Structure 1
């Protein structure tokens, strides 16, 4: 026994019976045995708990208060223990901002890559972003209205935490007197006290001017200074501009929507637009600099669902296809003149027939025209005509759209009946601004080009488009990028990390996932394998890794790749302990420890230890009996349903038929499920099993059969529900978190036990009811610990 081995003596946690073990270091060790025999008690509640406890105890008292310390396990002695990392089958959390890309840190490297070597484009005209001269900036500033007052600002801090006392002192020494901090003009000589925990925007006031022909030389000097201090950027802040009262503005990144931003290095000369220099924060949907302004970087928003809003698509807008708007005759004069002005302006600009937008059935309108009605016309100038008596008055404006108007009504509603009425037409929908891409227009317009033949039709992809690719496709995209020599030098280390981590995800059988896949939608097995891939990328050495059934939910096709990943983790110089029932894993392990002989109180012993042949020879080992072939699960000789080669034997047998399933990766398929039988659906990981059963079948039956809330995936219809009475869905979600719940209370058997005790003669004499035997009710529970 080498001195470096992990020695366990007298482990008694849970049902373990004074277990003594020696775990060889730097080997792949498989803990197996029947369910409940004590595998997890040794692996997680003894080994991991003690390793974690010793690590936390080595930290300072200050650091320990932030970490949850695990209790000391019931064990006599453990020696040779390394720092331990547990990779268990728990969900990755319910935060929709967490994705496969952020969990594996691939997205962090992608943000750096796009910020440093990505090619920016103008969001308006899609032309490449280029530099602009000082003269062009001065000409655009002087194109403002005459006598307009404005300040020339140089941005020095953008959304960063700190007090910035030294910065203010340096600016004073350079001769600057004023600065705009978080939107407020302040004197730099004042005793400024900024909250170091808050993010701040600081812009230096270079000069304050009035737009006349005589200011050109002074303006040129101010622009030159501002570009120098602001490192190529400056802001023109009009002093008299005020937002229009009562006008609903689309949300904007800037705290001062009237600001005009100029950049010497990043601008579109055709559109006259300037942009912030790209930084990694620009490509983060969790940062105010990069997130979509409308959905705050979630890609989805709770708003009015067009499919619910348009109650009768066969009707036209004037006929009342939108119930909350009503028919033309039900509208007041003010509303009619607004909608008439929108329709007339669009028809005139696009040369459409008169009355086309108002009189055409909704289902026959183009997507663009539907978008005009629902989400507005943007910055397009709309001419409205108000007719009062014999005179008519024309005026101009914009149209925000029906959904923004209803959202404003919903946010200001105080009546519960009005809120309930509006919420009937609302749902979580794709953000109309970013279309689910999460980032703002500037970030979505930066691209990289791939040379792989699979991307010959569309070689240029933005970061959201790359995130939407599967891991397999993303590997091909980053296999060879179109970069110049400078770009190759800059990106070499980042690309190495990206390619390596994508390869790790492929090796654990997750090549079907996309980087944008959110954490709440991942199964426990997928989450575990993602964390496993992340640990390989960390490159730690001398660590004790403890995994809980990593092969669960994995198709046998991908088992070899998973085992190769575990062996790679071991070969890096780590000890890998796996709690597993999979035969391939057992045969690949260096050392097997079999617990048993039974579950619970009948287990807790080590019945076999060694390699596969040693376990097969152990008489008390149930696992060994199955591995050696002495025991087996017999295939039934006769089944309830016999499937001939050509067609079904009984065409009239009751069945559920799912028609036209198109959810996720399903390709408009029809599926028939026979009823009254044990039906198994299988296939490679990510092939669409959960999409058709969990997302379509279960959600539809929950809504239509159980009369509950369900949002099924995209499909045509389901036939055969008349054969069913109700649906019970049993999934892998936890049954609850309350410590008062246990298996007996969950399956209601404890109710029968309490009723039985209440019927005993002694209980009747004392007048005890079933509640007297409940640990949740005062009088029955122990009052010292409240049950």
Structure 2
């Protein structure tokens, strides 16, 4: 919608002089003339490009049309007497000359029209108190000195610079279109280039000590180092002084090179010509990172798109605004009342921004990449489309929309969900947040445990009547996560200090983080937590340790680096996307199990090695399904079908491999064990038991060893990652960063998570957790609260210290909620389920579709209510508006609203019907139209094709049909190698 606004209302400014470029009319020119005093003398001219070869012809044609004079060098000259001096010259032909008076308005307007016409959209005005009269024929005339020259153009052209611009299209304001995307970065806003921070990671080293990492040092014996030393000797550049103390000119010569030395950039430019070699591409990736595109400045747009302004701002500046800032901007933007189309577009922009603000996302910038949003933020963004569609009788399913949302903003999300419910929709929310659960109408609790111990309904009914199921006990306060009796205290010397953190909305802050403790980073959504933890701390620590994870955010320094060995980020990204990965392969416990199976007498007798017990190797896997356990049947226009492999029965291995057993269990039976069962079974095999034990410690004892990792829930994947760090470490302190580890976790699971995190800390490590869950915050040793608000009003340290100190701070939103969690909550009552009665303002939604002010085609401001769940007939004489009401109003609006609730990526492939001319339509469900007319029919169309029976018949014959030999009519089938061998043997 914003790109449509810019295409319609954007004010073009010349890229050279910055002057507004407006297609001008004679009316604009007359308005400009009114600024000059009455009696001024005016010459109106139009330009014509001259070519010497056509001068005589041009002179004759102009003479026929009545134009006999030109204006040149301040003089009016006769075309007959003047001879061109240049082959290519622009002449100013005099269209009229007159004295400026109000009575001359009609003459002036006519002359302006004429000049625009013959000048192909361009004209010039020469205005002064006195202008030389035309000279006699053959005379050059006297010197005329007009006081002022004005140029005008009726095209998108800068009259001063002569630069012509194309008419703006909506695609010009889209960085997803080649029309509008920056040609350098192709609409991404970033380019990849060598990163000097990676090439010179430690400027305190000298050149001889290896300050330039790709060149090495004196002990590495590299050709590049020898070339550098020879160059430094010739230019007398010190090689034993720290690199940062070298003169700027010396640093520049080493980095950029000179005419006699290639330098760092020269070497990498040469390597760029060798990128067809794999090892060169790998080498380059070590020293390159993404930087802001120098061409577009990160806006992603071409220069032409940025020349259009709305209220002084180009579209890149609009996208860089936060939702709060954009809301205020578009609220101030005014549009002429007669421009109804632009007003409609502006209303759409305003409504979507208000929805985003309503769900607590006012801190997000409009150019924020969607892949950087948390799962909860993505859902809340999608909720804006759902609420804006105003559909009824729909089912909405949400998966933990509270992820990333501070408890302070929960009421906003609840209000949105109840607003959808009050539109007669059904809302199903998978949620662990206690407040959202308490505000629901009904509650479905599954359990009682996980895995094989789950899958049963432990309670279903009104939330106010919840029983003593595991969830019910936590909701009622009968069971709770305890507050630690003692907290670890920071040591005076063990601190990690970030100085001058200023990335995104961080306000040049200094943050001290105690080492060896369980630290919680809190704050309202958008306060800068992820920026501080991931963009600055994690990337900064990794870069300092020589393992770059991308360019870190802006900061002056990180002190205390020497006290930690490495930094580890455990975020919400999926572990893997392939079904071949499972908990055994992830924990490296499969290798010892394969060796155990290969060591059995049966395996040795058959000549089987460890590779035969892997479904990733051809030696042992079923060749029919390639170790997948299923076969994929492509169903063309239907969803693909996955069927159990007929050869191995879904066991993934060859028959002879499955005949080998260890302690009575073959490889398939071992993969079918749960973690708990496997730990008991391999009790005397520490190489198997030790890697699996952490899975049980984080509450994943129920998980099957062979369960594909890509089928794990978000909470299971987080805990699987965490289990890797519960193993015995290398004895050196690590710095672990967890991004909302409670995602997908029940109250009971959170207690297990806390036990695991404290175990990591007891190993001498530091754990920093970004979290909104107060059960986690209250169990921390130290809390760093950012805020006080989100976006531009955040990015400051509100309070740091133990949870009790944070809870006592009046300016902390986190403290207000933390206070209740630190106090006893036993015996807390669950509030009654919220009323399902719809508000009075939505009473018409209960049973009817209400149309107000329908003016489409011949409908005369029609207002009526159509009852839902009834058979309604629309009748009337031909042309009375029946089809307009049924199809152009009801169907078009119902389909349009449904499609607009889908993702933008899907909508770009679907034609969305235009909005009909109607004031409002409420109570409208998703709509289907069954029409008499069948579009795009041909003589090939039949009842079978129209009803799609023919397509299913084709599919049936292609999947189930038996092919027969055309010669002997015997059925044909393909045989496997094993079947052929068995046939020969028999």
TM-score by length of 2: 0.45
- Aligned match of 1:556: 407
Kept in 2: contact 1:505–1:511 (CA 8 A): yes
Alpha carbons of structure 1 residues 721 and 314: separation in structure 2 relative to 1, 3 Å: closer
Match of 1:635 among 483, 487, 490: 483
- The question of 1:725 aligning with 2:565 is answered yes
Match of 2:171 among 262, 266, 281: 281
Deviation at 1:130, TM superposition (A): 2.2
- Aligned match of 2:318: 466
Matches within 5 A, 1:400-419: 410=272
Counterpart secondary structure, 1:751: helix
RMSD (Å) for aligned C-alpha atoms? 4.4
CA distance in 1, matches of 2:52, 2:335: 48
- The question of 1:532 aligning with 2:383 is answered yes
- Aligned match of 2:305: 443
1:628-647 CA distance string (max 9 Å, x none): 11111111111122xxxxxx
- Aligned match of 1:292: 182
Alpha carbons of structure 1 residues 448 and 708: separation in structure 2 relative to 1, 3 Å: closer
Counterpart secondary structure, 1:728: strand
Deviation at 1:591, TM superposition (A): 1.1
- Aligned match of 2:252: 321
Relative CO higher for 1 or 2, CA cutoff 8 Å, sep ≥ 6? 1
Matches within 5 A, 1:227-238: none
Deviation at 1:430, TM superposition (A): 1.7
CA distance in 1, matches of 2:91, 2:18: 34
Kept in 1: contact 2:190–2:293 (CA 8 A): yes
CA distance in 2, matches of 1:468, 1:321: 34
CA distance in 1, matches of 2:281, 2:445: 60
1:491-511 CA distance string (max 9 Å, x none): 321121111111111122211
Alpha carbons of structure 1 residues 282 and 784: separation in structure 2 relative to 1, 3 Å: closer
Matches within 5 A, 1:209-358: 264-303=154-193, 321-323=252-254, 325-327=256-258
Deviation at 1:582, TM superposition (A): 1.0
Counterpart secondary structure, 1:630: coil
- Aligned match of 2:578: 738
Alpha carbons of structure 1 residues 312 and 786: separation in structure 2 relative to 1, 3 Å: same
Deviation at 1:317, TM superposition (A): 8.2
Match of 1:565 among 410, 413, 416: 416
Counterpart secondary structure, 2:443: strand
- The question of 1:475 aligning with 2:327 is answered yes
- The question of 1:625 aligning with 2:515 is answered no
Query: Could you list the runs of 5+ residues in structure 1 that have no partner in the other structure?
Result: 1-108, 150-208, 217-222, 233-261, 333-401, 450-459, 642-649
Deviation at 1:566, TM superposition (A): 1.1
Counterpart secondary structure, 2:567: coil
Deviation at 1:448, TM superposition (A): 2.2
Which of 599-608 and 668-677 deviates more?
668-677
Counterpart secondary structure, 2:398: strand
Match of 1:754 among 594, 598, 606: 594
Counterpart secondary structure, 1:552: coil
Deviation at 1:606, TM superposition (A): 0.7
Deviation at 1:535, TM superposition (A): 2.0
Alpha carbons of structure 1 residues 126 and 753: separation in structure 2 relative to 1, 3 Å: same
Deviation at 1:212, TM superposition (A): 9.4
- Aligned match of 1:518: 369
CA distance in 2, matches of 1:551, 1:281: 35
1:234-256 CA distance string (max 9 Å, x none): xxxxxxxxxxxxxxxxxxxxxxx
- Aligned match of 1:157: none
Deviation at 1:757, TM superposition (A): 3.6
Deviation at 1:754, TM superposition (A): 2.9
- Aligned match of 1:73: none
CA distance in 1, matches of 2:583, 2:449: 20
Query: Could you list the runs of 5+ residues in structure 2 that have no partner in the other structure?
Result: 29-43, 55-87, 96-112, 123-151, 201-241, 628-986
Alpha carbons of structure 1 residues 266 and 624: separation in structure 2 relative to 1, 3 Å: same
- Aligned match of 2:525: 685
Counterpart secondary structure, 1:268: coil
CA distance in 2, matches of 1:479, 1:470: 14
CA distance in 1, matches of 2:455, 2:286: 55
- Aligned match of 1:33: none
CA distance in 2, matches of 1:477, 1:213: 45
Match of 2:11 among 106, 119, 139: 119
Match of 1:131 among 5, 17, 23: 23
Alpha carbons of structure 1 residues 129 and 723: separation in structure 2 relative to 1, 3 Å: same
Counterpart secondary structure, 1:537: helix
- The question of 1:430 aligning with 2:320 is answered no
Alpha carbons of structure 1 residues 320 and 773: separation in structure 2 relative to 1, 3 Å: closer
How many residue pairs match? The answer is: 494
CA distance in 1, matches of 2:565, 2:308: 54
CA distance in 2, matches of 1:406, 1:508: 48
Counterpart secondary structure, 1:479: helix
Alpha carbons of structure 1 residues 147 and 479: separation in structure 2 relative to 1, 3 Å: same
Alpha carbons of structure 1 residues 437 and 224: separation in structure 2 relative to 1, 3 Å: farther
Counterpart secondary structure, 1:745: helix
Kept in 2: contact 1:655–1:720 (CA 8 A): yes
Alpha carbons of structure 1 residues 409 and 268: separation in structure 2 relative to 1, 3 Å: farther
- Aligned match of 2:673: none
Counterpart secondary structure, 1:285: coil
Kept in 1: contact 2:186–2:300 (CA 8 A): yes
- Aligned match of 1:705: 545
CA distance in 2, matches of 1:627, 1:420: 53
Which of 305-314 and 718-727 deviates more?
305-314
Which of 120-129 and 704-713 deviates more?
704-713
Kept in 2: contact 1:303–1:407 (CA 8 A): no
Matches within 5 A, 1:606-685: 606-615=457-466, 621-641=469-489, 651-685=491-525
CA distance in 1, matches of 2:599, 2:286: 50
CA distance in 1, matches of 2:622, 2:116: 73
Kept in 2: contact 1:467–1:514 (CA 8 A): yes
CA distance in 2, matches of 1:477, 1:592: 42
Counterpart secondary structure, 1:535: helix
CA distance in 2, matches of 1:324, 1:143: 53
CA distance in 2, matches of 1:303, 1:686: 30
Deviation at 1:604, TM superposition (A): 0.7
Alpha carbons of structure 1 residues 774 and 473: separation in structure 2 relative to 1, 3 Å: same
- Aligned match of 1:593: 444
Alpha carbons of structure 1 residues 633 and 212: separation in structure 2 relative to 1, 3 Å: closer
- Aligned match of 2:555: 715
CA distance in 2, matches of 1:421, 1:779: 35
Kept in 1: contact 2:180–2:301 (CA 8 A): yes
1:517-536 CA distance string (max 9 Å, x none): 12222222222221222222
Kept in 1: contact 2:6–2:308 (CA 8 A): yes
Deviation at 1:711, TM superposition (A): 2.6
CA distance in 2, matches of 1:656, 1:140: 74
1:656-709 CA distance string (max 9 Å, x none): 222221122111222222222222111111111111111122223333337354
Deviation at 1:465, TM superposition (A): 0.9
Kept in 2: contact 1:525–1:550 (CA 8 A): yes
CA distance in 2, matches of 1:306, 1:226: 56
Alpha carbons of structure 1 residues 735 and 315: separation in structure 2 relative to 1, 3 Å: same
1:65-104 CA distance string (max 9 Å, x none): xxxxxxxxxxxxxxxxxxxxxxxxxxxxxxxxxxxxxxxx
Kept in 1: contact 2:190–2:298 (CA 8 A): yes
- The question of 1:544 aligning with 2:395 is answered yes
Kept in 1: contact 2:274–2:280 (CA 8 A): no
Kept in 1: contact 2:46–2:92 (CA 8 A): no
Alpha carbons of structure 1 residues 751 and 727: separation in structure 2 relative to 1, 3 Å: farther
Alpha carbons of structure 1 residues 755 and 309: separation in structure 2 relative to 1, 3 Å: closer
Kept in 2: contact 1:113–1:491 (CA 8 A): yes
